[in-house]
């Protein structure tokens, strides 16, 4: 029997409606919980900033973190199958020990694989798609406690709808991911890139390395660049001394100005394995909670200069509530609910102070400016439009609704967030 508790997300800005989390230790136990509950939502590692993972009143909130922590590599197929509750840090360490790698990682390796893929979490890189693009198969428990396996191989286009699923198709118990041979990455930080130079050279800047992030507050006229170069490709060469007017940093940096870089992955061009360079933060630093809120908007890459101009115009309003903004690129992909669906994208991320009331009007102003440029919000972060209005920005939203009907005809896996996506509608 689960015990009574106060359940919050990582940032602490969401207290979930459920006061109990079911933590089954076996898939059979999970099947019984699902079959017996009127409605079910799954909580991953709780790193989303909105109510996407919440269960409605009377519904069951379930964690799969207690299922056996299995990781099984299929060298022939170049895949790994991992228990759904595992975090990227755990999977990455195992893969590295086997001489394998994932193509990309998010900024923080502590997020669960399943929760990250469910919201189309991403890293950066002109040629890198979201983390969910690596998903080759999903094992789920369906609404009656039935076992379902969906795969890219067997389900074709419908699988593009299932990989980014908002937790709405069932409880995922295992995820199969594509892997590749391990590779080293060297991380170089440049400071002092003028925002004007960034706007004029978007393709060159973001195309300069395997993964590129630009950090700015939109108030100061410059950005800091983090270049993650793959040492096994042509972009592994040493960077020029000055580059579009920016210069290589002579000490490690944190994304937020003034914060010590102690918890950041190694910089200064020291090569190291992929999983110790692609995230910005080290796996051995365990942030149990965060003093921040986050939002992120995906734009067609060609809208970058207009988006930069709009954000710079908001610089004075952003200053009191913004810790830092990060720009990344994501390659176009087929996943129906990926914000990078059929669009090479620029993702504009905003790390806010942890003051939802002060942030709300500024977030709304950002959305107002970016919406006409085609902005799609990150499913796991804060946005002021309704989830239903966000869903209207996707050509395949109605196909996703049909997929929900197919796998969950009575809506057991829906909550208010997913109901809104299901219904669609205006902001
Ligand atoms: C410090 C920090 C850094 C971040 N960095 C990035 C970043 O670099 N890039 C980026 O894109 N995002 C980033 N995020 C956002 C984060 O990756 C997403 O919010 C992601 O969804 C979090 O995964 P989670 O496991 O915590 O999921 P949760 O927030 O717990 O849940 C997210 C969704 O996944 C579903 N879900 C989870 N597990 C299952 C399961 N087993 N079966 C079915 N559904 C499931 C939930 O029901 C919910 O709908 C960051 C967040 C934080 C706090």
> Does the beta carbon of 224 lie inside 6 Å of ligand 1?
no
Please tell me the predicted confidence (pLDDT) of residue 284.
83
Q: Find out whether 47 and 10 touch, Cβ atoms under 8 Å.
A: yes
Atom of ligand 1 nearest to the CA of 120: 11
Mutate which of 22, 30, 44 to test ligand 1's pocket (most atoms within 8 Å of Cβ)? 44
For ligand 1, atom 50, the nearest C-alpha belongs to: 47
Please tell me the distance from the alpha carbon of residue 342 to that of residue 300, in angstroms, as a whole number. 9
Which pLDDT score, from 0 to 100, does residue 165 have?
Answer: 98
Distance between terminal CA atoms of the chain?
A: 40
Q: Rounded to the nearest whole angstrom, what is the distance from the C-alpha of residue 44 to the centroid of ligand 1?
A: 7
> Which of the listed residues 7, 10, 45, 115 should we mutate to test ligand 1's pocket, taking the one with most ligand atoms within 8 A of CB?
115
Cα–Cα separations (whole angstroms), residue 392 to 20, 269, 366, 382: 33, 43, 19, 17
The angle subtended at Cα 298 by Cα 380 and Cα 89, nearest 5°, is 50
Q: Please enumerate in sequence order all residues whose Cβ is within 8 A of that of 325, keeping only pairs 6 or more positions apart, or say none.
A: 215, 216, 217, 218, 311, 318, 348, 349, 350, 351
Contact 258, 215 (CB under 8 A): no
427 residues of the chain, pLDDT tens digit each: 455 788 999 999 999 998 889 999 999 999 999 999 999 999 999 999 999 999 998 899 999 999 999 999 999 999 999 999 999 999 999 999 999 999 999 999 999 999 999 999 999 999 999 999 999 999 999 999 999 999 999 999 999 999 999 999 999 999 999 999 999 999 999 999 999 999 999 999 999 999 999 999 999 999 999 999 999 886 656 667 788 899 999 999 999 888 899 999 999 999 999 999 999 999 887 665 579 999 999 999 999 999 999 999 999 999 999 999 999 999 999 999 999 999 999 999 999 999 999 999 999 999 999 999 999 999 999 999 999 999 999 999 999 999 999 999 999 999 999 999 999 976 5
CB 380 near ligand 1, within 6 Å: yes
Q: Helices in 275-341 by DSSP H: which ranges?
A: 304-313, 315-318
Contacts of 69 (CB under 8 A, 6+ apart): 83, 85, 86, 90
Measured in Å, residue 113 CA sits from the centre of ligand 1 at: 8
Ligand 1, atom 53: nearest CA belongs to which residue?
47
Centre of ligand 1 from the C-alpha of residue 49, in Å: 9
Report d(CA 197, CA 119) in Å as an integer: 32
- CB under 8 Å to 159, separation ≥6 — which residues? 150, 151, 152
Query: Does residue 84 have its Cβ closer than 6 Å to ligand 1?
Result: yes
Task: Round to whole Å and give the CA distance between 124 and 17.
Answer: 34
- Treating both helix axes as pointing N-terminal to C-terminal, what angle do 397-407 and 416-423 enclose, rounded to 10 degrees? 120
| CA nearest ligand 1 atom 7, residue | 106
Q: What pLDDT is recorded for position 127?
A: 97
Residue 382 beta carbon below 6 angstroms from any ligand 1 atom: no
């Amino acid at each position: 029997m689960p015990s009574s508790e106060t359940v919050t997300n990582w940032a602490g800005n969401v207290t979930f409606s459920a006061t109990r989390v079911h933590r089954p230790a076996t898939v059979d136990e999970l099947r019984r919980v699902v079959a017996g509950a009127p409605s079910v939502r799954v909580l991953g590692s709780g790193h989303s900033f909105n109510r996407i993972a919440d269960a409605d009143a009377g519904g069951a909130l379930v964690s799969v973190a207690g299922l056996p922590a299995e990781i099984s590599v299929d060298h022939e197929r170049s895949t790994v199958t991992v228990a759904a509750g595992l975090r990227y840090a755990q999977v990455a360490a195992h893969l590295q020990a086997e001489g394998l790698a994932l193509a990309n990682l998010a900024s923080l390796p502590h997020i669960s694989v399943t929760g990250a893929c469910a919201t189309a979490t991403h890293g950066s890189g002109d040629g890198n798609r979201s983390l969910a693009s690596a998903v080759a198969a999903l094992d789920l428990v369906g609404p009656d406690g039935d076992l379902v396996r969906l795969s890219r191989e067997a389900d074709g286009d419908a699988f593009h709808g299932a990989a980014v699923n908002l937790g709405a198709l069932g409880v995922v118990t295992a995820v199969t991911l594509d892997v590749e041979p391990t590779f080293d990455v060297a991380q170089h930080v440049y400071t002092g890139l003028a925002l004007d130079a960034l706007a004029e050279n978007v393709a060159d800047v973001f195309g300069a390395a395997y993964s590129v992030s630009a950090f700015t507050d939109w108030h100061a006229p410059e950005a800091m660049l983090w270049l993650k170069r793959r040492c096994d490709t042509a972009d592994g060469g040493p960077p020029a001394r000055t580059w579009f007017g920016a210069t290589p940093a002579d000490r490690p940096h944190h994304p937020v100005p003034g914060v010590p870089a102690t918890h950041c992955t190694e910089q200064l061009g020291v090569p190291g394995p992929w999983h110790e360079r692609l995230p910005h933060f080290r796996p051995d630093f365990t942030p149990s909670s965060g003093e921040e809120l986050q939002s992120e908007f995906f734009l067609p890459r060609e809208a970058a200069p207009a988006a930069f101009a709009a954000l710079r115009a908001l610089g004075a309003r952003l200053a009191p509530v913004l810790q830092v903004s990060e720009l990344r690129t994501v390659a176009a992909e087929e996943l129906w609910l990926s914000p990078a669906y059929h669009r090479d994208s620029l993702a504009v991320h905003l790390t806010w102070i942890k003051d939802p009331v002060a942030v709300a009007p500024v977030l709304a102003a950002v959305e107002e400016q970016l919406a006409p440029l085609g902005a799609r919000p990150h499913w796991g972060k804060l946005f002021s439009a309704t989830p239903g209005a966000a869903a209207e920005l996707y050509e395949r939203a109605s196909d996703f609704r049909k997929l929900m009907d197919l796998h969950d005809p009575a809506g057991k896996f829906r909550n208010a967030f997913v109901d809104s996506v299901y219904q669609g509608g205006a902001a």
